[in-house]
């Protein structure tokens, strides 16, 4: 078995591939895709509740329906990404145009069935875009700089899309739903135009590719990367904890008269800055240590919320919680580096599928638990939940991931 050793000169050579045509294009496409989506999210609630008169309860059901649709279509999306690389840019461009059609649906939205139809199409397109774009990025850069490339894409996306939701709301308030939908759709289409400039041959032949068909798979369900499913589930267990913190921690702190906004803002800011460098660190060092430290922070934070009796300790837990969420970038890079390029699509599909699975039920489950047992037992429960994630990850590293990385390195060097 080939053993991977870090080479600084090799890393620098790999880092240069981030500035190649396909890598730069797919980063720009992702930024436009997310900005368009955030614009739509900005005006969507107003159109459904205010214009169409649909209740907030039904809207909540629609959001769960959207996540369920995305979950179902992750596997087909992974199947397409791994098997039709040569035509992937045309499919990506077509999906971007379909987003324009989807957003325009809000103009004629007057009833619940129409809203569900829009949410269905939106879920299908979301599943494909969130699977295809990270997979294309992985195919476009050298494996030695894969972590850096992913972190650069996510960091730039956070910077350039920060105003997306506010822009969508502003256009809706000033010019109406038609203008807002057209504007969001135009941004999506701009990404579709850029997709047409991707180099299909390089995508098709990236480390083991063979033309338009990289690896013949037996069924759509093979679009799930089954061997990486345990990692994807462990990585996304924290979605339950994040949902509890994002939706219910402000209520918990407010009821106790704690000033918590400064801690959240500072924690998010530090996390954002760390995210920029986390990819480079994952390329230079073993990402395992970053993941373990981050998961440990996700244990400590809810434990502090449950046991602390002062504002300073609660805010310390808040800082730890948001800063330690950098583990999410690192653990996704762990998966991307552990598998071959012929499986990047199915891995991204499986990762997003696990994300959607936990997202569907977590808000309702946490809300019910707090109503039934109170805040502190729930925070303790979430700490125990995160201990399970931490232990599970360590076991995976000891029994499976290290061996898989060595096998993948030998395969790609052959």
What confidence category does residue 1 fall into, taking pLDDT thresholds of 50, 70 and 90?
very low
Q: Is 183 helix (H, G, I), strand (E, B) or coil?
A: helix
pLDDT score at 211: 43
On the question of pLDDT at 86 being above 50, the answer is: yes
Instruction: Give the percent of the chain with pLDDT over 90.
Output: 40
pLDDT score at 386: 95
CB-based contact 394:293 (threshold 8 Å): no
On the question of pLDDT at 210 being above 60, the answer is: no
Return the HEC string of 361-380.
HHHHHHHHHHHHHCHHHHHH
What is the Cα–Cα distance from 248 to 260, expressed in whole angstroms? 13
Q: Report, as an integer, the average pLDDT of 100-114.
A: 94
CB-based contact 339:228 (threshold 8 Å): yes
What is the Cα–Cα distance from 103 to 118, expressed in whole angstroms? 8
Contacts for 396 with CB less than 8 Å, ≥ 6 apart: 230, 231, 234
Residue-by-residue DSSP string for 286-351: -HHHHHHHHHHHHHHHHHHHHH--SHHHHHHHHHHHHHGGGHHHHHHHHHHHHS-GGGHHHHHHHH
Tell which phi-psi region holds residue 141, choosing left (phi > 0), alpha (psi between -120 and 50) or beta. beta
On the question of pLDDT at 399 being above 70, the answer is: yes
What is the Cα–Cα distance from 219 to 323, expressed in whole angstroms? 40
CB-based contact 321:302 (threshold 8 Å): yes
Contacts for 59 with CB less than 8 Å, ≥ 6 apart: 45, 48, 49
Residue with tokens 């502090």: 304
CB-based contact 153:30 (threshold 8 Å): yes
CA distances from 404 to 10, 38, 147, 396, 410 (A): 21, 37, 17, 11, 10
Q: Report, as an integer, the average pLDDT of 8-14.
A: 68
Tell which phi-psi region holds residue 371, choosing left (phi > 0), alpha (psi between -120 and 50) or beta. alpha
pLDDT score at 388: 96
Residue with tokens 């489950």: 365
For 227-413, CATH number?
1.20.1250.20
What is the Cα–Cα distance from 392 to 159, expressed in whole angstroms? 33
Contacts for 345 with CB less than 8 Å, ≥ 6 apart: 77, 78, 79, 80, 81, 82, 83, 131, 132, 135, 223
CB-based contact 277:151 (threshold 8 Å): yes
Q: Homologous superfamily of 8-216 in CATH?
A: MFS general substrate transporter like domains (1.20.1250.20)
What is the Cα–Cα distance from 85 to 363, expressed in whole angstroms? 37
CA distances from 361 to 112, 240, 254, 382 (A): 22, 9, 25, 15
Model pTM?
Answer: 0.77
CATH 1.20.1250.20 location in the chain: 8-216, 227-413
User: pLDDT tens digit string along 227-266?
Assistant: 889 999 998 998 888 888 877 887 788 888 888 888 888 8
Opening angle at CA 389, ends 345 and 76, nearest 5: 20
């Amino acid at each position: 078995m080939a053993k991977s050793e870090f080479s600084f000169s090799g890393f620098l050579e790999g880092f240069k591939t981030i500035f190649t045509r396909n890598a730069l294009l797919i980063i720009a496409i992702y930024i436009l895709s997310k900005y368009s989506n955030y614009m739509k999210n900005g005006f969507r609630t107003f159109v459904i509740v205010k214009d169409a008169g649909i209740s907030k309860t039904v809207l909540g059901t629609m959001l769960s329906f959207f996540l369920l649709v995305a979950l179902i279509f992750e596997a087909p999306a992974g199947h397409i990404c791994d098997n039709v690389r040569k035509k992937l840019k045309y499919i990506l461009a077509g999906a971007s145009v379909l987003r324009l059609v989807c957003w325009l649906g809000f103009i004629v939205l007057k009833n619940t069935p129409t809203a569900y139809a829009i949410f269905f199409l939106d879920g299908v397109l979301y599943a494909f875009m969130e699977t295809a774009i990270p997979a294309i990025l992985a195919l476009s850069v050298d494996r030695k700089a894969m972590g850096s490339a992913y972190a650069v894409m996510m960091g730039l996306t956070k910077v350039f899309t920060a105003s997306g939701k506010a822009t969508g709301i502003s256009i809706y308030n000033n010019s109406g739903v038609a203008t807002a939908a057209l504007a969001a759709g135009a941004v999506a289409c701009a990404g579709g135009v850029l997709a047409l400039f991707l180099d299909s041959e390089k995508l098709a032949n990236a480390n083991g590719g063979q033309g338009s068909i990289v690896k013949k798979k037996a069924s759509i369900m093979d679009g799930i990367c089954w061997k990486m499913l345990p990692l994807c589930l462990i990585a996304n267990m924290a979605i339950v904890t994040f949902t509890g913190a994002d939706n219910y921690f402000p209520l918990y702190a407010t009821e106790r008269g704690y000033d918590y906004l400064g801690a959240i803002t500072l924690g998010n800011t530090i996390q954002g800055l760390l995210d920029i460098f986390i990819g480079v660190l994952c390329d230079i060092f073993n990402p395992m240590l970053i993941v373990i430290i981050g998961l440990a922070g996700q244990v400590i934070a809810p434990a502090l919320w449950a046991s602390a009796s002062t504002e300073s300790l609660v805010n310390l837990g808040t800082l730890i919680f948001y800063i330690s969420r950098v583990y999410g970038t690192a653990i996704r890079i762990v998966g991307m580096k552990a598998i071959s390029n012929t499986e990047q699509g199915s891995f991204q599909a499986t990762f997003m599928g696990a994300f959607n699975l936990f997202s569907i039920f977590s808000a309702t489950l946490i809300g019910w638990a707090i109503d039934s047992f109170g805040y502190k037992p729930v925070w303790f429960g979430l700490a125990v939940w995160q201990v399970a994630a931490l232990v599970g990850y360590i076991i995976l590293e000891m029994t499976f991931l290290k061996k898989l990385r060595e096998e993948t390195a030998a395969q790609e060097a052959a």
